[in-house]
Amino acid sequence: MPTNPVIKLADIHKVYHTGEVDVHAVRGISLEVFPGEFVALMGASGSGKSTLMNMIGALDRPSGGSYLLDGIDVSTLGRDALAEVRNEKIGFVFQGFNLLSRTSALENVEMPMLYNRHRIQSREQRERAMQALELVGLGPRADHHPNQLSGGQQQRVAIARALVNRPTLLLADEPTGNLDTQTSIEIMGVFQKLNDQGITIVMVTHELDVARYTKRMVILRDGKIVADEAVQNRSVAEKELQQLRAAQQAVKLDS
Amino acid sequence: MRIFASLRIAGRALRRNKMRSLLTMLGIIIGVGAVIGSVSLTSGATKQVEDQVSSLGESVITVFSGNFTSGAMRGGWGSAPTLTTGDAQAIAGLKNVIAVSPEVRDRAQVLANGLNWNTQVMGESPDYPQIRNWSIASGAMFSDQDVRSLAKSAVIGKTVADQLFPNENPVGQTIRIRNLPFLIVGVLAPKGFNLFGQDQDDTVIVPYSSHMHRITTRTFVNSILVQAANDKVIDSVQTEITDLLLLRHRSKEQDFTVRNQLELMQAVTATSRAMSFLLAGVAAVSLVVGGIGIMNIMLVSVTERTREIGIRMAVGARGADILVQFLIEAVTLSAIGGSIGIAGGVGFSKIVAYLKDMPTVTPFFWIAIAFVSSAIIGIISGFYPAWKASKLDPIEALHYE
């Protein structure tokens, strides 16, 4: 690939000093992710995928090795500089949605712009937040509060929030973990659509079904990469949804 | 992060727990309210006293004759026969003295119009109304000529006028003092009660010479009222009077006392100043208690909202942003509490003023102090919880249950 990688991990280590025993969660991972990729980080719990995710997301610093995010060496940055990187370069989508309750969908989406280093006029904030909500198909629900939205809708709000600062990287941590099958497929459809528009996505999951929607699978075990391969027979969310609806229709007709 | 957005976030956080926010504010509300209320009441009382003191006249120096001891007989100020009209005339010749009135006091039963009344009969000079800053409501003051001729002229106070001439104009009528007829030449404007609760309008004023020769037969005066040109020269005039009288009386011991109004004012306001210090102490204690309440609740709030803090940090909030957010919340709490307290304190003092018919004054200075100090209390008590919030680890905060 001719372009520079979005993520360039070189021999990353992470050791937690908790209690008497040091926990070596990540042991020498090197990984490159290029613009437009859609990567699934897979592995059982304890494989180090969450730790890796936190470091890729600039929430945590590696104990050893170097990490270039969009050309910036993140592994040596301080707290405030990391916050800035998260704000400008990364959009997070979490398993538990992590929306602010009693705050409308629109305001949730506006929130990252509050922390921009360059001040954005509130009118522009509003417009950008509306655009992001429309992109995930929630325009009409902008003034709903999270408790008035379904799980799938809440996750769409979270995706809109992740996109609003136009990040170079979208990071999703088990985004379908709290959702039923159909909603999961819908959300994967949203990710696929975004990826088709050129957005780079890295997603942590332990479900193979979900990983099939991505383009590349990286499998971790005991803090090391054990497999890194392109996804064969990639699922397409739209097609899967059609099949699912057809199946539901059939069940209804039978009864 | 912009202030307006922070204020909105703070407002939302406080509305979320209305009852808790109110209870948190209560410490500040009560503290500030108590301070503003009591300051209003004491300031009102002080103002009243100051008004009374200044009703005695401006830049007034009073010379009392000294204590009197004669054999076994003793008397207090003003009873010793040491001050004379000659002293008063000598004082009048001093620099920066603009008015002098020798004063002779006596109580007498006065009759007029078929009615009688026991009142204070005072002998004064025509300068008296000027010295006391007291205007004549109708008629005129008696003149220097009246003093020289021992004229039987009198000026009466409002109370005496009301008692003896309920429905008539007293000017031109006759009032009998010790069975001597005096012509009423003027009526004084009402002045109200003095510092010691005496009705100043309950008085009859005659020329001091007439008083000394016709009503009582005295050779000395009780005191001498002196008006200095202004407050700046009052001390030097006082010294000159003292020197002059020492010389005139040729006595080793000072047989008179010279007091000026500023001293009286200071003596009276010393009490209220002590009261102010006491209030400031109470205020400080109650604000500290209120601040502890705010700190406590902010600590709870930070713990409760750990996850929110984590989310905000994940999307790029720096420690400083979180710090400012919680600080603004604490300051909003305490400032709103302070404002409610100020309003409550002013309201309370108005109610007391209405019920007890007392004057109240709420100095703007104290309102500003109360508001600023409650805001400062907010900053101080909010700082530790806010600092704690800003130091949270984003990953741990995100996974906080």
pLDDT tens digits for range A118-138: 888 889 999 999 999 998 988
Q: CA of A80: which chain B residue's CA is closest? A: B318
Q: Are strands B174-177 and B136-139 parallel, antiparallel or unpaired?
A: unpaired
Domain boundaries, chain B: 3-52+266-398, 101-225
Kindly state the greatest CA–CA separation across chain B.
104
**Cα torsion at B324, B328, B329, B332 (round to 10°)?**
180
Across the interface, whether the CB atoms of A102 and B16 are under 8 A apart is answered: yes
Average pLDDT, chain B: 85
How many whole angstroms separate alpha carbon A126 and alpha carbon B5?
Answer: 13
Q: Residue A216 forms beta bridges with which residues?
A: A39, A230
Residues B99, B279: contact at Cβ < 8 Å?
no
How many whole angstroms separate alpha carbon A15 and alpha carbon A64?
Answer: 9
pLDDT for residue A10 is more than 60: yes
Closest to A202 (Cα-Cα) out of A211, A193, A240: A211
User: Poorest-confidence range of B13-17, B263-267, B300-304?
Assistant: B263-267
Q: Are strands A38-42 and A200-205 parallel, antiparallel or unpaired?
A: parallel
pLDDT on residue B327: 93
A–B CB contacts, 8 A cutoff, strictly below: 62
Which residues contact residue B373 at a Cβ distance below 8 angstroms, ignoring those fewer than 6 apart? B283, B287, B338
Closest to B309 (Cα-Cα) out of B290, B324, B292, B288: B324
* The Cα angle at residue A170 between residues A127 and B306, in degrees rounded to 5: 85
Residues in B touching A59 (Cβ below 8 Å) = 314, 394-395, 398
pLDDT on residue B70: 54
CA atoms within 13 A of residue B119's CA, in its CB half-sphere = 29
How many whole angstroms separate alpha carbon A27 and alpha carbon A30?
Answer: 10
Answer whether A62 touches B (CB < 8 Å): no
pLDDT for residue B62 is more than 80: yes
Answer whether A115 touches B (CB < 8 Å): yes
Of the pLDDT bands very low, low, confident and very high (cuts 50, 70, 90), residue A14 is: very high
Tokens of B49: 């006293």
DSSP, residue by residue, B127-184: THHHHTT--EEEE----HHHHHTT--EEEE-HHHHHHH-TTS--TT-EEEETTEEEEE
The torsion angles phi and psi of B68, rounded to 5 degrees, stand at -125, 130
pLDDT for residue A104 is more than 80: yes
pLDDT on residue A2: 58
Amino acid in position B400: Y
Across the interface, whether the CB atoms of B313 and A98 are under 8 A apart is answered: no
Q: Residue A170 forms beta bridges with which residues?
A: A91, A201
Of the pLDDT bands very low, low, confident and very high (cuts 50, 70, 90), residue B76 is: low
pLDDT on residue A55: 92
Across the interface, whether the CB atoms of B316 and A86 are under 8 A apart is answered: yes
Between positions 313 and 372 of B, the ones with CB within 8 A of A are 313-321
Residues of chain B with pLDDT > 90, as a percent, come to: 28
Tokens of A151: 């799980």
Tokens of B101: 């009135």
Mean pLDDT of B205-224: 88
pLDDT for residue B375 is more than 70: yes
pLDDT for residue B80 is more than 70: no
Closest to B25 (Cα-Cα) out of B369, B349, B329: B329
Residues B85, B102: contact at Cβ < 8 Å?
yes
User: Which DSSP letter does residue A147 get?
Assistant: G
pLDDT for residue B55 is more than 80: no
pLDDT for residue B312 is more than 60: yes
Q: Which domains does chain A have, with CATH numbers?
A: 36-59+78-254 (3.40.50.300)
Please report which helix (H) or strand (E) contains residue A218, including its range: strand A216-221
Is A1 or A29 the better-scoring residue by pLDDT? A29
